[in-house]
Amino acid sequence: MDLKDLENIEHKIEEREDFSGFKVSPIEVFFPKDEEEVERIVKFAYENSIPIVPWGSGSSLTGAVSCEGCIVIDLSKMNKILEINDVDWYVRVQPGVKLIDLYEAVEAKGLFFPPDPASFFLCTVGGATSEGSGGMRGVKYGPFREWVLALKVVMPNGNIVKLGEPLRKNRAGYDLIHLLVGSEGTLGIITEIWLRLIPLPKKKIFLVISYPESIKKAGEAIIELRKAKILPEFSEYLDADVVKSMNKNLNAQLKETDGGMLMISIEDDQLQDVISIVKEKGEYKVLEGEEAERIYSLRAQAAIAVKTENSGYFYAEDIVVPVSKLPEAIERLNELGKKYGTKFYIISHIGDGNLHPNILGKNKDEVEKLFKEVAKISIDLGGSVSGEHGIGVQKAEMMRVQLFKSNGPLVLDLMMGIKRLFDPKDIMNPGKYVERAYLAGTTAASFKDSSP
Ligand SMILES: Cc1cc2nc3c(=O)[nH]c(=O)nc-3n(C[C@H](O)[C@H](O)[C@H](O)COP(=O)(O)OP(=O)(O)OC[C@H]3O[C@@H](n4cnc5c(N)ncnc54)[C@H](O)[C@@H]3O)c2cc1C
Q: What is the pLDDT of residues 403-412, one digit of tens each?
A: 999 999 899 9
Ligand 1: atom nearest CA of 125 is 25
Give the atom of ligand 1 at the shortest distance from the alpha carbon of 78.
Answer: 41
The whole-number pLDDT of residue 376 equals: 96
Q: Give per-residue burial for 354-363: e unless 16+ CB within 10 Å, then b.
A: bbbbbbbbee
In a mutational test of the pocket of ligand 1, which residue from 177, 234, 356, 389 has the highest number of ligand atoms less than 8 Å from its CB? 389
Examine residue 448 and state whether it is found in any structural domain, yes or no: no
Q: How confident is the model at residue 212 (pLDDT cuts 50, 70, 90)?
A: very high
pLDDT at 310: 78
419 domain-assigned: no
CATH number for position 259: 3.40.462.10
Identify whether residues 310 and 172 lie together within a single domain: no
In whole angstroms, give the CA distance from residue 408 to residue 395. 18
Q: Which of 176-180, 287-291, 359-363, 388-392 has the lowest mean pLDDT?
A: 359-363
Residues 297 and 364 in one domain: yes
Q: Which residues of 380-395 are buried (b: 16+ CB within 10 A; e: fewer)?
A: ebebbbbbbbbbbbbb
Taking the C-alpha atoms of residue 64 and residue 127, their distance in angstroms, rounded to an integer, is 10
Structure confidence by residue, pLDDT tens digits, 229-272: 999 999 999 999 999 999 999 999 999 999 999 999 999 999 99
**Number of domains within the chain:** 3
What average pLDDT does the segment 91-95 reach? 98
One domain for residues 183 and 285: no
Ligand 1 pocket by Cβ (under 6 Å) = 19, 53-61, 64-65, 75, 95, 117-119, 123-124, 126-128, 130-131, 133-135, 184-185, 189-190, 303-304, 388-389, 429
Q: Each residue of 331-370: pLDDT tens digit?
A: 999 999 999 898 999 999 999 999 999 999 888 899 999 9
Q: What is the pLDDT of residue 289?
A: 94
CATH (domain of 10)? 3.30.43.10
Closest CA to 232 of 294, 283, 275: 275
**Structural domain contains residue 415:** no
Do 71 and 87 sit in the same domain of this protein? Answer: no
**Contact residues for 227 (Cβ-Cβ < 8 A; gap 6+):** none
Q: What are φ and ψ of residue 403, in 5° steps?
A: -60, -40
Q: Which domain holds residue 298?
A: 205-394
Q: How many beta carbons lie within 10 A of that of residue 271, not counting itself?
A: 17
In the predicted model, is pLDDT for residue 448 greater than 80? no
302 near 249, Cβ under 8 Å? no
Q: What is the pLDDT of residues 276-331, one digit of tens each?
A: 999 999 999 999 999 999 999 999 999 999 999 877 888 999 999 999 999 999 99
Handedness of CA 421, 424, 430, 431 (dihedral sign): positive
Note the pLDDT tens digit of each residue in 2-41.
778 899 999 999 999 999 899 999 999 999 999 999 999 9
Q: Give CA–CA dist 351/113, Å, rounded.
A: 20
Whether residue 381 lies inside any domain: the answer is: yes
Tell me which residue of 77, 12, 10 sits closest to 40, measured CA to CA: 10
What gap in Å lies between CA 314 and CA 360, rounded to an integer? 5
Residue type for position 163: L
**pLDDT value of residue 452:** 34
Residues 325 and 222 in one domain: yes
